[in-house]
Structure 1
Amino acid sequence: MFTDRRIERHQLPYFLRVFNSVTDRPIGFLGNVSEDGLMLISQLPMMTGVDFHLRLKIPQGDGCNQVIDFTACCLWCHEDATPLHYDAGFSLQQAPPEFGQLIRALQQYFSFQPLPASV
């Protein structure tokens, strides 16, 4: 079973909700993320070896949400340090270009790099 992470993941101090993209019901929060995977924090354990159809709703400045649907396989799941919570590691199977844009935006935001100057 795959257990070693090859790409640095960025911890998210404020969690984004993760939804089931079929039912649009919340299933947990985004704990950390990379180009190839993510960690989900949920109140229920996730079944390993199963593909999940997931959705992120990214708040936009106009009060609307950008929706990003993707498929990810759960590689592992274990109880979190917080009672009645579980951490699950997912490998991305299918992700749209918007997912990569989200990763780059989060890396920019959490790296405290200055924004590019407007031309």
Structure 2
Amino acid sequence: MDDQRKEHRTHLIYYLRVYEPETHNLFGHVVDISANGLLITSDKPMEKNSQYILEIEDVSSLDDLSTVDVQVECRWCQGDGSDELFDAGFRLINPSSRMHDMLESYQ
């Protein structure tokens, strides 16, 4: 992790599920968020500097459960020691207004 985040992060009590849009397979879970990025835990490693298109579960309004599309870039990835789970830091790329609204609801 050569460039650690310096902005405020919010650790989520309820981890948001993240899906791969094409297959709808579970990609991982958002563990914490900031205005410009996400920490995602997954059972597979992510490649540093790779970009991903993902769907994040939006539970900010339980009346309207849906997903938000987001494009991200993996900044780092590391195993948990047992190599069963991997934590990865992602930078948001041109987040939509809906993604901004969701982020604000968790701050």
**TM-score between the two structures when normalised by the length of structure 1:** 0.79
Specify which structure has the bigger relative contact order, considering alpha-carbon pairs within 8 angstroms and separated by 6 or more residues: 2
RMSD: 1.9
State the partner residue of 1:55. Answer: 55
Question: 8 Å contact 1:33–1:39 — kept in the other structure?
Answer: yes
TM-score, normalised with respect to structure 2: 0.87
Larger gyration radius, structure 1 or structure 2? 1
Unaligned runs of 5+ in 1: 108-119
Letter in 1 for 2:62: G
Query: How far off is 1:33 after superposition?
Result: 0.6
Q: Distance in 1 between matches of 2:41 and 2:32?
A: 9
Query: Following the alignment from structure 1 to structure 2, what is the Cα–Cα distance between the partners of residues 20 and 70?
Result: 11
More strand, by proportion: 2
Separation in 1 of the partners of 2:71 and 2:2? 18
Distance 2:29 2:82 in 1: 14
Rounded Cα–Cα distance in structure 2 between residues aligned with 1:40 and 1:82: 17
Structure 2: segments with no counterpart, 5+ residues: none
